[in-house]
Amino acid sequence: MSTSHEHGAVVVGVDTTPASRPALAWAADEAALRRLPLHIVLAVDAPGLHGGSAELTTLWTSWGPVVRAMHAPVLEEARDFAVERHPGLTVVAELADGSPLDVLRARAPGSAMVVLGSRHRGIVRDLFSRESVGMPLVRHAPCPVAVVRETEHVIHVPPEVVVGVDGSALSAEAVQFAFEEAAFHDARLLAVSTWQPPRPRDFPSVATGDETEDEVRRTLAESTAGWQEKYPQVEFRHEVIPGHPVQVLGETAQRALALVVGSRGLGGFSGLLLGSVSQGLMHHAQCPVVIVPHPHAGDATA
């Protein structure tokens, strides 16, 4: 099966904590299904080294090899886990110097996908800790970025993929990826658009709720037209649901195999940048979240 990101490997970032194991398993499954290599990366960062003093540089020169040696068994264990999970899978394991963000951002171009784990330590710590790389990576990565929760969740039987659609050209890439994902997993696909009913007392000149909902339905139908013919094996349906996109998509995809959204969008999401929506979903969605960029949106704000 040809895909929109058929070249390159599935890259997964791991660390020394158990939080990265579900992401590793998810990435290995994706690589095996897509018949792509799996590239496991463990970044070894030296806090304060970049732009630091000559003393810090000298210290890291002495201790760097020791630190790398301590991380090597973790990387080897990750590689063994992936190979045992999918015998025959081509696996490359890399111990790289630098921050996780810089290392993964450098390997995203040409990759099929970058996969991250999520520790869900609380929204404030996740947003501002030095280990939080999800949103900065999403802003710059030219390939899809998947964020997988530390804890596994119960999925639908049969499995289902959910995609958020807002009618923009940016969400079109998410629709294509979602059809591919559903086809690879023999899963159903549900496309969801949201709308927030206007309050006439605040905006007397806006369209009525019925008119707004009808327009969103038309946009959703147009945005997904033609894909069913390209993927006839995928059982497909779509829904328009009132409410905030983070809440609606998170609840709808609670038992989904994956939730797919575009990197940025307007339109059906009532003018909200999908960057803020994807950020909310990355922190609160129960299932893996895949953020798909538009190939010509490199200069846009995520």
Report pLDDT digits (tens) over 167-206. Answer: 877 788 899 999 999 999 999 999 999 987 766 555 555 5
In a domain, 2, yes or no: no
What's the CATH code of the domain at 37?
Answer: 3.40.50.620
Residue 105 and residue 172 in one domain: no
Note the pTM of the prediction, 2 decimals: 0.82
pLDDT at 29: 96
119-169: pLDDT as tens digits? 654 433 343 333 467 777 887 789 999 999 876 667 878 899 999 998 877
Contact 245, 191 (CB under 8 A): no
Q: Positive or negative, the Cα torsion across 67, 68, 71, 73?
A: negative
Residue 68 has pLDDT above 90, yes or no: no
Q: What is the pLDDT of residues 214-273, one digit of tens each?
A: 888 898 999 899 999 999 999 999 999 999 888 999 999 999 999 999 875 333 333 334
Pairing mode, strands 258-262 and 236-242: unpaired
Q: CB of 64 within 8 A of CB of 46?
A: yes
How far is residue 39's CA from residue 93's CA, in Å, rounded to a whole number? Answer: 6
Partnered with residue 238 across adjacent β-strands are 191
3-class DSSP assignment, residue 71:
helix
Residues 177 and 139 occupy one common structural domain: no
Residues in the chain: 302
Examine the domain organization and report whether 69 and 174 are in the same domain. Answer: no
> What band does 209 get if pLDDT is binned at 50, 70 and 90?
low
Q: For residues 68 and 128, state if they share a domain.
A: yes
CA distance 8 to 38: 9
Provide the domain count of the chain: 2
If we measure between CA atoms, which residue out of 227, 239, 140 comes closest to residue 183? 227
Q: Are residues 145 and 164 both part of a single domain?
A: no
CA 72-53-75 angle, to 5 degrees, is 10
pLDDT at 103: 92
Structural domain boundaries enclosing 118? 10-149
- Tell me the C-alpha distance between 59 and 63, whole Å: 6
Res. 279: pLDDT tops 90: no
Same domain, 134 and 195: no
Query: Which residue(s) pair with 219 in the sheet?
Result: none
Give pLDDT, residue 99: 85
For residues 233 and 180, the answer to whether their CB atoms sit within 8 Å is no
Both 255 and 283 in one domain: the answer is yes
In the listed set 149, 176, 206, which residue is the last one of a domain according to the structure? 149
179 and 144, same structural domain? no
Confidence of residue 87 (pLDDT cuts 50, 70, 90): very high
Query: What backbone phi and psi angles, to 5 degrees, belong to 298?
Result: -60, -30
d(CA 19, CA 148): 9
Residue 246 within any structural domain of the chain: yes
